[in-house]
A and B are shown apart, each in its own frame.
Chain A
Amino acid sequence: MNAGTVVLKVGQAVLAPLIALAFAVVVTSVIVSVAGSSVSEFWEVMLEPPSKRSWVNILNQTSMLFLAGMAAAIAFRMNLFNIGIEGQYLLASYCAAVVAGAALLPGKLNVAAAVVVAMVVGAVWAGIAGVLKVTRGVSEVISTIMLNAIALTLVGWLLNQYGDSAGQGRRTTPIPESSRLDGFSFFGYFAQADGRVWTLSFVAIVVGVVLAVVINRTRFGFDLRATGSNDEAAVASGVGIKKMVVVAMLLSGGVAGLIWLPAFFGDGYYYGTPFQSNLGFTGLAVALLGRNRPIGVAVGALLFAWLSVQANPLQLFADISPSIVQVTQGVVVLAVVAAYEVVRRFGVAQEQRSIRKALQRTGRLEEGAAT
């Protein structure tokens, strides 16, 4: 691959999201102005350099969204639609909170135990859909959606039945002081008042690196990608597709189980009102935006986190509902799907052209040699 094609490939990868983003900016601006608000004020607020406090929020949200995005991406790479990330991390978060709250192990070991529990619970919950798919042919889309509903009801019931009462609601037992994680201040860059970047955010980085290696460099990853792009060819090549479906769902669910843990050990300390829902669904969008590639997902997570955190002061400064950024997020995702396809077709045409050119050249050479 020469430098030219590298530039071309990178250009293609970056071009589509940029087009989509530009389109989303236009659509959002139109909606803001139709709603009778000032477009310039809106973008002023959105694009204002974040305060340190906002940066902490953005980074924390990014880590959770990244985990959710990667959970979706693993399944997507195999053409599986794990719509059930929401239910998987809900149930996993609850179980982890119960285990950590019980403080069976001292101090930081408690954290490790909770991480393992969360991953196992998430994996099992997703694995149910995988097993149903390979044994009974149930579409994972349907079963994971249903498992979401079951998880929500189940956690609600368990909390009601066994939770501690706190004020109006119920919650799990808070974890002991010794199991709480302080977070990173980045050598004092963030003051105490700014908050902390949650300690377990680093898990997102570990997950990203590990998955990038597994998917791109290992035989398992190759089998996974091959199955995702052409399952029949994968079968003919010797991939045991049923096993792959189950393993991919387990992996996806395992990562999903981790989503809320950074917040849990860094800020929440118990399952109840601090629980942030909907990250699973947003994760699907983030994975789409990032084309299921770790770096892309990271950028997508950062973008979504930025939009939602920066939107908070909108009401205050520009008298616009912060919900408007959900429009932006939605439009970005829709537009990016279309833009990727356009850019992909362009890439294919480009490649065919270069092939023709190259073959024409050799054709001439052969002719020249023959005469």
Chain B
Amino acid sequence: MTTEVETAPGAAPPGGGGISVVGVTKRFPGVVANHDVNLTIRPGTVHALIGENGAGKSTLMKILYGVQKPDEGQILVDDKPVSFHSPTDAIKTGIGMVFQHFMLADNLTVLENVVLGAEGRFGIGDRAREEIRRISDDFGFDLDPDQLLEKLGVGQRQRVEILKVLYRGARTIILDEPTAVLVPQEVDALFANLRELRDSGRTILFISHKLDEVLAIADDITVMRRGETVGEADPKTATKHQLAEMMVGAELPSPETEESTVTTTRMLELAGVSLVDDGGRYLLRDIDLAIHRGEVLGVAGVEGNGQAELVETIMGIRKATVGTVSLADQDLTRWPTRRRREAGIGFIPEDRHRHALVLDAPLWENRLLGHQTSPALNRRGFLRRRAAKAETSRIVEAYDVRTPSINTHARALSGGNQQKLIVGREMSGDPILVIAAHPTRGVDVGAQAAIWEHIKNARREGLAVLLISADLDELIGLSDRIQVILRGELVGEFDPSTVTPQQLGSAMTGGRGDRS
């Protein structure tokens, strides 16, 4: 709001963009989300902000982006105090934000997505196209303004998001966990882009809890814990261990698994499964796969290479075009989802808000979801509400779901606690196979460790587990075998005890990533 919005097309962006946060406190009724937060972001640097989920990073981010106003303290941009009433003010001051969940429309082109809401800058026609090309070339984004968004991969989408904020004239870019959705090679590409941005004089605030990445990219590191900034670290000298201790006050848990419990009894078997879409395109091609009792099979792959379709085919949400799916020697290729669940498949979907919860229903009703037909929870078509509530209480207790009550709406819980509830629910009802798709995505370190523990327990108790994850450390740590999926085909099997994330990464991209 202090600077002029319009910069001439093609003009070099102004430098600067250093931000100081001085003594910011934000209270919500009953809780202090930020307490005396101090942060100095030097202009032209990559500054990492790390901390567990719930450490107050989001609140600070929202304050910097004008979504919320601080109760106390000050924000200085280029040493001038500013006060934001809305994100529009923040954008005018040159602060842009890239959210973890992309805010893009699939059915629009890159150009249309970028100009949406910023039509006033360069119009919506050739001038805008020119500007997008210029930004894309300057930073090596390699984006075609007229490409449809739905054709783009995750890494490209992220670059569109970054382009969006640059297009709006941002000098400071806040990135919220940008690597959560990327494979190692894409992370490298992103970091290359970020370095270019830094070299052009822009300032980047990088929010993450992946310590390796923070050490690789950051010039400065600030650690948050329980709503306070607890310290700063120099990435040149700091170790992962030190950062972890600052973050959680303890060593990070690791997903290491113990001695093998694999048996020779086949639980899940896919034979020659292909899935063809309406346009004749193969989403899955000739998948052969078996998971045994007590075995965790990991599936690695760049997102969008058929993992979701594989899961949906096993769950019966999609029906295999050819091939058979069987569970414990029963052919369930033509069974509907409900019957498959009754046969003992537990399902932890990748997007818990979309596929695993009814957010505006109480926890105990969410306990029923997917188990509506279980005799423990319904009698002759009538729900056994008392049993469902007792069951929910048990899960809340056993899986350490932090909630004031089982009548609380699912929406009110944090991501980690929602996920623990889902894991608890899917482990109930004696499943013989559990499908876990990105089970620890977006949950804090504590919940992550708990979920890993539950998966290990399940394996020990003789369940078969299909684990799909983008976190290669998680895959390597938990799996007994790892299969790599690429363009709907299983292209290789690896032994987690010998494979490195780099090898997996290169198999996931079809060998193109060998250079690392």
Contacts and interface: CB of A to CB of B under 8 A. Distances in A.
B346 to A, nearest CB: 12
A355 B407 contact: no
A351 B390 CA distance: 22
B369 interface: yes
Interface in B302-339: 315, 317, 336-339
B404 A218 contact: no
A358 interface: yes
Contacts of B381: 218-220
B336 A357 contact: no
B357 A360 contact: no
Contact of B365 (A222, A232, A236, A240): A222
A355 B338 contact: no
A102 interface: no
B344 interface: no
Nearest to A344: B360
B29 A222 contact: no
Contacts of B404: 354-355, 357-359
Interface string A211-233: 00000011110110110011011
Contacts of A5: 407
A319 to B, nearest CB: 48
A236 B337 CA distance: 7
Nearest to A237: B370
B28 to A, nearest CB: 7
Contacts of A34: none
A240 B316 CA distance: 11
A143 to B, nearest CB: 23
A242 to B, nearest CB: 10
A365 interface: no
A5 B409 CA distance: 13
B354 A353 contact: no
Secondary structure at the A interface, as helix, strand, loop or mixed, is helix
B261 interface: no
B402 A235 contact: no
A167 interface: no
A1 B407 contact: yes
B8 interface: no
A221 B516 CA distance: 55
Contact of B356 (A229, A236, A238): A236
A222 B30 contact: no
Interface in A325-370: 348, 351-360, 362
B485 to A, nearest CB: 20
Contact of B402 (A223, A357, A359): A359
B180 interface: no
A239 interface: yes
Nearest to B351: A232
A348 B411 contact: yes
B341 interface: yes
A356 B358 contact: no
Nearest to B412: A351
B408 A353 contact: no
A351 B408 contact: yes
Contacts of A359: 402, 404
Contacts of A235: 317, 337
A232 to B, nearest CB: 5
Contacts of B342: 238
Contacts of B347: 236
B501 to A, nearest CB: 30
Interface in A22-49: none
A168 to B, nearest CB: 52
B368 interface: yes
B355 A232 contact: yes
Interface string B346-386: 01010000111111110001001111110000100111010
Interface of A: 1, 5, 217-220, 222-223, 225-226, 229-230, 232-240, 348, 351-360, 362
Given A219-B381, A238-B337, 18 more contacts: A218-B381, A220-B381, A222-B368, A229-B358, A229-B359, A230-B354, A230-B358, A232-B355, A233-B356, A235-B317, A237-B370, A238-B336, A238-B338, A238-B373, A239-B337, A352-B412, A353-B29, A357-B31
Interface of B: 28-31, 315, 317, 336-342, 347, 349, 354-361, 365, 368-373, 378, 381-383, 385, 402-405, 407-409, 411-413
10 A-B pairs closest in CB distance: A238-B338, A358-B404, A237-B370, A356-B31, A357-B30, A238-B337, A236-B355, A237-B369, A351-B412, A229-B358
17 contacts: A218-B382, A219-B378, A219-B382, A230-B359, A235-B317, A236-B370, A237-B337, A237-B369, A238-B373, A353-B30, A353-B31, A355-B408, A357-B404, A358-B403, A358-B404, A359-B402, A360-B31
